Each structure stands twice: as C-alpha cells, then as structure tokens.
Amino acid sequence: MARKVGKRKTREKRILEPATYLVASEGTKTEVLYFQQMADGLSRKYQGYEDRVTVPNFDIEGMGTSNFRLIEDVVAYLRTSPRLFENIWLVFDKDDIPENYFDNAIKKAASLGWQTAWANDSFELWFLLHFEYLQSGIMREQYTEKLDMYMKKEGLEGYNKNDPRVTEILQNRRNSAIKNAQRLEESYEMNVPASQKNPCTTVHHLVREIIELERIIDKIKMQERYF
C-alpha cells in the first residue's frame, strides 16, 4: 500500500519590518551590555507613542564568535528568526587575527548589505575616545589602565567592562566620542585597509544612528508641547 503523501508545510513569508535592528557582536558581555542599555533607553523614550510613530526595535545578540564565523552565525540566526530585519550591524574587534580575515569580513558583510561597527584594535578604544583623542596604537592593557583612571575620576572603583554604571558615564560623553572617532577615521586615506588603521573604529556610526532615532521622538515630544 502506497504511503499517503501530505502537503509539505510551507514557511510563512516574512515581511521586512521597518526600524528593526539586529546588532550582533562577537563579545557576549561588554558590547551586549553597552548596546542593550542604549536600546532600552530608546524604548523608554518611545513608550506611549506606538500608535503615532514607527517604534525602533533592537535585538542585541552576543554571538561569541568573530569575523567570518560571526557572519556565518548571523546567517544561521536570520534563517530561523521570525523577523526580517531592516538593519543588520556586526560588532567586532581586530584582536590578533590575520589581517586579511579582518578586512575580508568587513567586505563580506558589506556584500550582504550589512554594516560593521568594528574596532582596531579593541572595543575599549571606543570607550576611551569618550575621554581623549588617541592618535597612536596602544597595548590592550593600556586601554584598561587609562579607562581605570578615568572611571576613578568619575567616582567608580575603577574600570569594570561589565559594570552598567560605565555605560551610564559614557552616555554623557557621546558627542565627544563621536567627534574623536570621526576625526580618527578621517585621518586615514580611504584606500587604507581597516586592518592597517590602528587605532580606528566605526562604532560611532551605529551610535550616531541610535542618537538620530532619539532625536526623532524628542522632536515629536517638543512639537506636542507647543502645538
């Protein structure tokens, strides 16, 4: 007796959701904590306005892998995600990986239509730019030493990358960090590979985009006060 063949269950077609962001980082703590706090703050700003404006939605995922493995993991994540994201950002460091791995990962992400918030050499460079302009590459231990000094000046016991109070301190200095990061990025010729740009970071592009989302809702709230 022939086996009855049923219809294969088809997957529902996903529709691109506006103002949706997937921020996938190689780190599982520092970067996740930093961007999650920003996303949570943004969500609070938009509360009560869901029926009047498109509310940005962020998924912050710490993948625990870097470069091409990070790209592969994000591809797998997107394959099973019920959401079709409008914006995809990868966050990763140069670390000690081969230079061509780093450069090729950036190119591969761009070919997929994704954006990268990378740091050469360490994500802590972005933190340090909140307090000073760094013109020359330094050792990773020196990032910690410098941040330790600045955090003590802010009243903390020192720099603990997983302390949520660190992000709160940084929030008040975002404009300085963006200015320093932009200046640093523009100090290199366009054709210089990212692996050769040390120190340098593009994290400010993602942060600036989040700030722009904050300005949208702030503008709406201000208009309500006067009209």
- H/E run at residue 105: helix 99-111
pLDDT at position 8 over 60 = no
Q: How far is CA 150 from the centre of its chain?
A: 23
Q: Give me the pLDDT at residue 9, please.
A: 45
Smallest CA-to-CA distance from 88 within 64, 119, 55, 110 is with 110
Q: Report which residue type is found at 68.
A: F
Range 188-198 average pLDDT: 95
pLDDT digits (tens, 9 = 90+) for 13-36: 778 889 999 999 999 999 999 999
Helices vs. strands in the chain: H and E counts, helices first: 8, 5
Range 185-206 average pLDDT: 96
